[in-house]
Amino acid sequence: MVSVQHLHPQYIVNEDGRKTLVVLPVGEFEGLIEDIEDLAAVAERREEASISHEDLVKELKRDGLV
């Protein structure tokens, strides 16, 4: 997860000195996009029923995934 403290933004300002655009290193931008995609996936699944860790492990073993 990208932390705001670890971002290295550069700003483009207009004639009045107001920030109008942000420039980020590609890696930081990609990290932010990844975080947004993860949050969207969580939001989409928030209504799904949850199962216990124990049940998850049983399912994974049953399916031969662990």
Mark the ranges of the chain whose per-residue pLDDT is less than 70.
Answer: none
Q: What is the pLDDT of residues 21-34, one digit of tens each?
A: 999 999 999 999 99
pLDDT of residue 3: 77
pLDDT of residue 1: 74
Smallest Cα–Cα separation from 10: which of 20, 2, 22, 28?
22
Q: Looking at the chain, which runs of residues are DSSP E strands?
A: 10-13, 19-23
pLDDT of residue 58: 97
Tokens standing for residue 16: 């009045």
pLDDT of residue 35: 94
- φ/ψ of 18, rounded to 5, equals -85, 135
Q: State the pTM of this model.
A: 0.64
Determine the Cα–Cα distance for residues 1 and 62; give it in Å rounded to an integer. 32
